[in-house]
Amino acid sequence: MKQPSLAHVLQPKWRTALQRLREERAKGGTGKLVILVLVGGAFWAGVFGVLYRILKALRSVEELGPLIPGKMLGLILLSFISILVLSNVITALSSFFLAKDLDLLVSAPVDWLRLYLAKLGETLLHSSWMVALMAVPILTAYGVVYKGGVLFALYAVLAIVPMLILPAVVGCAVTLVLVNIFPARRTRDLLSIIALGAAGGVILLFRVIRPEQLARPEGFRNLLDFVILLRGPTSPFLPSEWAAQAIMGYLRNEIDPLPLALLWSTAAAFVTLGALLHRALYAQGFTKAQEGAERFIRGGLWRWTVGSLLGWLPVAKREFVLKDIKLFFRDTTQWSQLILLAVLVVVYLFNIQALPLHRGEPVGFFYVNLVSFLNLGLAGFVLASIAARFIFPAVSLEGRQMWLLRSSPLDLRALLWSKYWVGTLPLLILGLILTGVTNALLEVTPFMMILSLATMAGLTLAISALALTFGTLYPQFETENAAQIPTSFGGLVFMMTTIALLAAVLGTLSRAVYTYVHSAWEGQAIGITPEMVGWFVMAAALCTAATIVPLRMALRKMESFEF
């Protein structure tokens, strides 16, 4: 029998992608495209600009100058490879074992090699596109600084593509082995925890090492040691090093075919070995993946604890809140993100504590207040990222069950209320702790403490409302993975709006804080002037408007949902 071509097997995927684009265009997606291009362009320009300056500066440094860029590229590509292996493992689980099209493909007379290559391609594309996009401004900066010319782009592609293929093959193979040991649903749980735990561990480790100390000249005992370290390859057996060598060789006009040959031959060998492993283990793994994770749950704990605490609520709201909490803690892909969150909070507080404000010279009153005030913006940004992860997807996750909610007499306001408070309350507690502890570490005055806590409360209420609203305005009802929802277009618009809100609120309050700091600086009596009250009222009004108006919009949008 003639086998269908690989392109044919992949046809539904690219046709779906094309159709989505057409639908977007039909819905007037030009605005979306413009925003995406602007944000993406600004990000690229930022990365390019920073790297360009660093590389330019390094080129003018004697001895170390020519060595560091190569080392730096090796490290960047190494970090890409680590990210890629993790993301490929997680993506491979969906594309090889849980995807909806598998029943059709596995039951059709498609041979194992085509199935493997099609799914490997799908996994590679899904998990690598972000890294590939990120590599563009980085490599462009190298190309421009070293005057690589147009052909450099082609050469860079030749070096980077096998570097993307290798982690994809490894990721798929790891998943294949894991699924053969555990059932797929359990593997997904396991992987989420391992992946996020590992990511958290790496961040924590990196932070505790205090890389900023390396930048201090007194940190180097011997310049020669450092040069020797730089000359040697970081990890000679890793493809990231080969790719860095290939790219730097081209840029220094010392073209060596060995790294490229190593990259491509290893990629080919890995694909072959991966395919053989797939032939040996896939059928058995796929069967195991169909087994449901059998788990008996009494669920009484939530009812006795949270249920009793919420006893004062009307039954519909109470049941809704209980349901949301249970779903969150029973979905490993969701709650495991808390691990990363905890690590980020620790790193955040660690950074504040590590600030050299309280070292040696007397504490600068001005700097402490400045840091405390700017910290509001940073904490607000952290809360916005958390809201994007946990509150933004809330409405999308109801998608498949919306038939039940819409056909029952549940008031949509109650639904919105439940979603809002289930997300807001933990966020508010976190926001207040983050602000309170950082201010305590900074030893700020009571004025700044109260101002910060009040501002953080107002901002949190508004950020939650914005997250819920943008999640409702740009719902992703068809998605199977909650973790992918925040990276959608709506998530981007939410983050941009929140940044604008943070800028507006902090901009308003900055006048009041300036008056306060100025009075203290001049040694004048510190009091709250009518002008300051005016700024406070305006900031409060901004937060209130950013809470109420979006929630009303969300309600209206929800009323117009059709299923």
Tell which one of 100, 221, 295, 359 touches other proteins (CB under 8 A). 295
Q: Minimum CB separation from other proteins for residue 186, in Å?
A: 12
Which residue reads 């009812």 in tokens? Answer: 303
Which residue reads 């300036």 in tokens? Answer: 514
CA angle 147, 150, 155 (to 5 degrees): 95
Tell which one of 100, 315, 361, 530 touches other proteins (CB under 8 A). 315
- Angle, helix 337-354 to helix 184-209, in steps of 10 degrees: 0
Tell which one of 408, 446, 522, 525 touches other proteins (CB under 8 A). 408
Of 193 and 281, CB closest to other proteins:
193
Burial bucket for residue 406 (CB in 10 Å: 0-12, 13-18, 19+): middle
Give the number of other CB atoms < 10 A from CB of residue 68: 15
Tell which one of 100, 147, 221, 298 touches other proteins (CB under 8 A). 298
Tell which one of 62, 218, 254, 294 touches other proteins (CB under 8 A). 294
Stretch that binds other proteins, among 50-58, 374-382, 383-391, 403-411 (CB under 8 A): 403-411
* C-alpha separations of 113 from 9, 19, 180 in Å: 11, 28, 19
* C-alpha separations of 249 from 58, 236, 515 in Å: 17, 15, 57
Tell which one of 113, 132, 402, 549 touches other proteins (CB under 8 A). 402
Tell which one of 279, 326, 358, 557 touches other proteins (CB under 8 A). 326
Of 218 and 294, CB closest to other proteins:
294
d(CA 549, CA 473): 13
Of 205 and 297, CB closest to other proteins:
297
Assess 323 for contact with other proteins (CB under 8 A).
yes
Output the DSSP codes for 332-355: HHHHTHHHHHHHHHHHHHHHHHHS
How many Cα atoms within 13 Å fall on the side-chain side of residue 462? 26
Phi (first) and psi of residue 156, to 5 degrees = -65, -40
Stretch that binds other proteins, among 39-47, 324-332, 446-454, 527-535 (CB under 8 A): 324-332
Stretch that binds other proteins, among 239-247, 311-319, 340-348, 374-382 (CB under 8 A): 311-319
d(CA 489, CA 507): 27
Tell which one of 327, 528, 533, 545 touches other proteins (CB under 8 A). 327
d(CA 449, CA 348): 18
Q: Minimum CB separation from other proteins for residue 336, in Å?
A: 14
Assess 478 for contact with other proteins (CB under 8 A).
no
Q: Minimum CB separation from other proteins for residue 188, in Å?
A: 12
d(CA 110, CA 215): 57
Of 232 and 409, CB closest to other proteins:
409
Of 343 and 415, CB closest to other proteins:
415
Assess 288 for contact with other proteins (CB under 8 A).
no
CA nearest neighbour of 388 among 497, 248, 256: 497
Of 40 and 299, CB closest to other proteins:
299
Q: Do 71 and 235 form a contact (C-beta atoms < 8 A)?
A: no
Q: For the chain, what is the radius of gyration of the CA atoms?
A: 27
d(CA 111, CA 347): 49
Assess 411 for contact with other proteins (CB under 8 A).
yes
Of 222 and 408, CB closest to other proteins:
408
Assess 312 for contact with other proteins (CB under 8 A).
no
Assess 563 for contact with other proteins (CB under 8 A).
yes
Output the DSSP codes for 6-75: HHHHHHHHHHHHHHHHHHHHHTTTHHHHHHHHHHHHHHHHHHHHHHHHHHHHHHTSTTTTTHHHHHHHHH
3-state secondary structure 69-93: HHHHHHHHHHHHHHHHHHHHHHHHH
Of 26 and 215, CB closest to other proteins:
26
Tell which one of 31, 232, 360, 409 touches other proteins (CB under 8 A). 409
Assess 193 for contact with other proteins (CB under 8 A).
no
Assess 304 for contact with other proteins (CB under 8 A).
no
Assess 299 for contact with other proteins (CB under 8 A).
yes
Tell which one of 205, 215, 224, 297 touches other proteins (CB under 8 A). 297
Largest CA distance in the chain: 92
Tell which one of 404, 425, 429, 503 touches other proteins (CB under 8 A). 404
Assess 413 for contact with other proteins (CB under 8 A).
no
Structure tokens, 140: 């462009």
Tell which one of 71, 119, 188, 318 touches other proteins (CB under 8 A). 318
Which residue reads 């310049």 in tokens? Answer: 223
Q: Do 47 and 134 form a contact (C-beta atoms < 8 A)?
A: yes
- For 182-222, where are the alpha helices, taking DSSP H only? 184-209
Assess 109 for contact with other proteins (CB under 8 A).
no
Size of the site for other proteins (CB under 8 A): 36
Binding mask 45-64 for other proteins (x = CB under 8 A): --------------------
One-letter amino acid at 114 equals R
Of 112 and 328, CB closest to other proteins:
328
Stretch that binds other proteins, among 11-19, 130-138, 409-417, 418-426 (CB under 8 A): 409-417
For CA atoms 427, 433, 436, 437, the dihedral sign is negative
Q: Minimum CB separation from other proteins for residue 63, in Å?
A: 60
Assess 301 for contact with other proteins (CB under 8 A).
no
Q: Minimum CB separation from other proteins for residue 397, in Å?
A: 9
d(CA 215, CA 24): 48
For residues 169-188, which are near other proteins according to CB under 8 A? 185
Q: Which stretches of the chain bind other proteins, using CB under 8 A?
A: 185, 292-299, 314-316, 318-320, 322-323, 326-327, 330-331, 400-411, 560, 562-563
